[in-house]
Amino acid sequence: MRNISLLPAQMKRDIAMAKKLSMAATILLIIAIISLFTYGLTGLMLLSPLIELESMERQNIHVSSQISELKPLVELYNQVNSNVNEYNTITNDILPANIVIHGLCSNAPEGILLSRLNVGFVFSKGEQKAIVEGVASNRQSLALWMNNLNDNQYVYKVMCKTLEEVTDGNGKKTYRFTLEIPLKEGDQA
């Protein structure tokens, strides 16, 4: 069977138009809801990088403050390195005292008693020298030791500054001496 409508044509058109309008309104409502959802989701997605950026800015401020706290240490580190370089420059040509002392004392013959040994750098003259004070049981021991010292790789020439004959209560003679020993520079030894 056929659908036969007894409604006037104008009313049929109005009903069809109402259906179309209702359908268009439903579609527009669905599009609006989807648009609002998309807009909200986009806003949340844009908010996440902003929150991360703020977090990074806070971290940057924290790290910057830590760096500024460490700047005095960096300056101190640079000063220490500068001092070490200065020390190395100043002491480059100076012989280590322990090597010199060993070289001076290792070949002392029997009968030599050292009472004072001073190894130093004379800044006014720019030279290193050792001052040795002691007592010798006889002059031959002292002379032998001075010859041995002149053969030492660290010594220029041994000079006897003082030599004093001392007699103890038993009549035994000893010789109190002071030697001045100019030393070679570290790169000449």
Q: What is the value of pTM for the model shown? A: 0.49
* Type of residue at 104: L
- Structure letter (DSSP) for residue 111: T
pLDDT in tens, 136-168: 999 999 999 899 888 888 888 889 999 999 988
Radius of gyration of the chain (CA): 51
